[in-house]
Structure formats: C-alpha cells, structure tokens
Amino acid sequence: MLSKTERTSALQWLGKQLFNREDPAAFFDPLLERINPMWVQQYTPARVERIEDETADTKTFVLKPAKRWDGFKAGQHVNICVDVDGIRRNRTFSLSSAPAQWHDNGTVTLTIKRLPGGLVTNWMHDNLKPGATIGLGEAFGEFLIPEAGEPLLYIAGGSGITPVLSQLETLAAANYEAPVTLLYFVRTQADIIAAQKLYELRQNWDALTLNIIATNESETPRFLKDGDLDEVNGIETRRCYLCGPKGLMDLATDLLTQRGITEDRMHSTFFATPKAALDTDALGGEVRFSNSDISVSSEGDAPLLDIAEAAKLSPRYGCRMGICHQCSCKKTSGTVVNRLTGKSSGPGEENIQLCVSVPHGPVTVEL
C-alpha cells in the first residue's frame, strides 16, 4: 500500500499529466484510440468514407468528421494529421466540397494531388483506405466569397481549383445571379480535376462562364495572356480570386493590376511559402527558448520553427506557411524578420509565428 506521501506525489504527477496540456481529456487518447478512434480528444477524428480518383495523380478523400467539428466556410483550409512510419505529420489542404454537404450528410472532401517527393501526399495516395481515421483541425482562412452580389473572376491552376470548387458549388446552390467566370489552367485535358462537376455547373448555372485552358498540348506552352482577360465581360468591375502555382498567380496579378484592378479586389491563396528577398548574411543569431532553458545559434534565413525542431523541441504547428497561426507564441526580446513580407518586428514582447519568423540577432522565445 502506498504511503500518504507517495499517494500525494502520485496524485500530483497525475494532475500535471492531465492539466499541463491544452485539452486535459487528451491524456486518455492512447486508450480511447484503441477502443474507438473517433473518441480521440486531442484533435477531431475524421473517418475516410471513400476515395475517388480524379486524375492519374489526384484523389478526392471523402471524410466524415466527428460531430464536434465546427464546420467551415467555402474557400477555407484545414490542417490534417496522419501517422507516417510512426511519426505524426501535419499538412494543410483546402476543402473542395461546399459547406452544404457537411450540413446535409456530415461529410467533407479533400482533393489532393500527389506531389513528386511529397511525404504526406504520397503516403495518403498509397496507404490511406476507407475506414481509416485521420486528424482534422478547425477550418481557417480568409479566401472567402463576398457577401455582396458582385461579378466574379476566378483564375485557377492545377490543384488550385480545390477551394474554387467549394465556392462555385456554394454560389450555384444560392443561385448567384451576377456573372462568374472561371479561367482554369491545366497541363492537358486529362489533368482536369473534378471535370464532371465543373461541366455540370456550367450546364445548370447560367451565371457561370467556364474556360479550361490546356497549357502543354502544343509545342509552345500556353499561359495566361491579355486575350484571355479581354474575353471577360466587364473585367474592371470583377472581384478576382487567384489560386494555383506561384508563377500563374504572379502573372495574373500583374495583368490584372495593369487593367486597374486594385489590390483590395484581388484575393489569393497559395500552396508554397512565397519568400521576400532577404539579406541572409545579416540574419541569424542566438536563439533562447526560455521555457525549455535551451540556447542555440542560427545562421541565414532558417525560421524559428526549423531552429526549434533542430534543437529537439516539438512546437505546435500546422501549415508551415504563415496561414493558420497554430505555431504562434510569444517573443519576449529580440528582433525577427517575417520571411513572407521582409518586415522586421519590434525588439520587445509580441506574438510571432515561428514558421515565418527569422532571427535578426539574439532572440528569446517562450517555448
């Protein structure tokens, strides 16, 4: 039998295990996962209902999240977590279904393209099967449909069509009457994602003009050009949504700006972190993780998230692109540079995102 002192120590240890975490109930997750994976508390479990082939390298995963999930708005992202070779991996994907589907039958879809060398996307394509369970975060993102009935222009490339699909289905269901044009760039006709859904939208929704452009079916690559925009009626009045490879988005932004479309009328989302031109020789410095009592030195434009992981710490993160803010924590001293904008922080206390913050001299972070 344990002595009173031993019982007190054991209760103190259990209390620390239960309450030194954002969700104390998650302490029981290893047990719950064995009984029913849909009872896990640390994240929202989502069961794979079915998997649909879209193209040779793209699949749609139909998921049924646990009922406690809060839902989403058309155009938003989610973080998912999967165990790959015993290591939990997090990635960010856009939801490709309309919110109405979630309300109607409790399912959502992620349409995911296999990436050359991609760890998580390739694992999902090769290993995820119906009946499996993955982790699903709450939806986030500001790539949202306007409330007013404005004429819209969508320019999408490749798998950048995924959040656009969610928005188009939502607009069609609401019988959105203002003109909507989609310019969708794919390598070949065989690479059209959700082709049947797009053609059905065009057939059943009078407001939609659909123009699918194959870029690699001729000797000379076919990219976005002024002539494509000339065919968009009243383009100067359109609110524009851009989603796809950085090259397409940069080109679209330049061409639209030349037509007088202001930055506040262009909305974009991206799949890779755009970087500002930084003077890497001037960056780096000693980083102190105060809660862990660890200090390390850094050089160049490595963000604090990478530096922390190299120091064997396990900070929370999601998208690693500066979108979801899951890696936000407090900087108590020092200056960091935002690798997306190139802007420097102040020298005092403030919340920063580890994934896009690069040390500029000595920095102390509460981690």
pLDDT tens for 114-144 read: 988 888 999 999 999 999 999 998 898 889 9
Confidence of residue 9 (pLDDT cuts 50, 70, 90): low
Task: Using the predicted structure, report yes or no on whether residue 43 has a pLDDT greater than 50.
Answer: yes
* SS3 state at 22: coil
Tell me the HSE value of 195 on the side-chain side, using a 13 A CA sphere.
13
CATH 2.40.30.10 residue ranges in the chain? Answer: 22-136
Using CB atoms within 10 A of its CB, is residue 173 exposed (0-12), middle (13-18) or buried (19+)? Answer: middle
User: Which CATH architecture is the domain 22-136 placed in?
Assistant: Beta Barrel (2.40)
CA 360/CA 334 separation, integer angstroms = 8
pLDDT of residue 326: 78
CA 264/CA 158 separation, integer angstroms = 25
Q: How far apart are the first and last CA of the chain?
A: 39
Encode 177-205: b = buried (16+ Cβ within 10 Å), e = exposed: ebbbbbbbbbeeeebbbbbebbeebbeeb
CA 180/CA 240 separation, integer angstroms = 10
- Mean pLDDT over 297-309 rounds to 87
Task: Using the predicted structure, report yes or no on whether residue 310 has a pLDDT greater than 90.
Answer: no
| Contact (Cβ atoms closer than 8 angstroms) between residue 280 and residue 261 | no
Task: Using the predicted structure, report yes or no on whether residue 334 has a pLDDT greater than 60.
Answer: yes
Confidence of residue 19 (pLDDT cuts 50, 70, 90): very low
CA 33/CA 38 separation, integer angstroms = 7
pLDDT in tens, 21-37: 444 444 444 544 454 45
| Contact (Cβ atoms closer than 8 angstroms) between residue 172 and residue 208 | yes
Confidence of residue 309 (pLDDT cuts 50, 70, 90): confident
pLDDT of residue 339: 85
pLDDT of residue 315: 87
- Mean pLDDT over 61-72 rounds to 94
Task: Using the predicted structure, report yes or no on whether residue 350 has a pLDDT greater than 80.
Answer: yes
pLDDT of residue 39: 44
Q: Is the dihedral of CA 239, 245, 246, 250 positive or negative?
A: negative
Mean pLDDT (the chain) is 86
CATH 3.10.20.30 residue ranges in the chain? Answer: 280-365
Task: Using the predicted structure, report yes or no on whether residue 155 has a pLDDT greater than 90.
Answer: yes
Give 152-269's CATH code, choosing from 3.40.50.300, 3.40.50.80, 3.30.1280.10, 3.30.70.20. 3.40.50.80
Instruction: For residue 165, give Cα distances in angstroms to 50, 137, 178, 199.
Output: 19, 20, 17, 12
Give 280-365's CATH code, choosing from 3.40.50.300, 1.20.120.1200, 3.10.20.30, 3.40.50.920. 3.10.20.30
Q: H helices within the chain, ranges in order? A: 4-19, 29-35, 99-105, 119-127, 161-173, 195-204, 226-230, 246-258, 304-310
More confidently predicted of 319 and 165:
165
CATH 3.40.50.80 residue ranges in the chain? Answer: 152-269
pLDDT of residue 219: 87
* SS3 state at 282: helix
pLDDT of residue 12: 52
Helix, strand, coil % in the chain, rounded to nearest 5? 30, 30, 40
pLDDT of residue 36: 47
pLDDT of residue 38: 47
Max CA separation in the chain (angstroms) = 84
Question: How do beta strands 294-299 and 284-289 pair?
Answer: antiparallel
Task: Using the predicted structure, report yes or no on whether residue 239 has a pLDDT greater than 70.
Answer: yes
Q: Which amino acid is at 165?
A: L
Of the chain, the percentage scoring pLDDT greater than 90 comes to: 58
Q: Is the dihedral of CA 45, 48, 54, 57 positive or negative?
A: positive
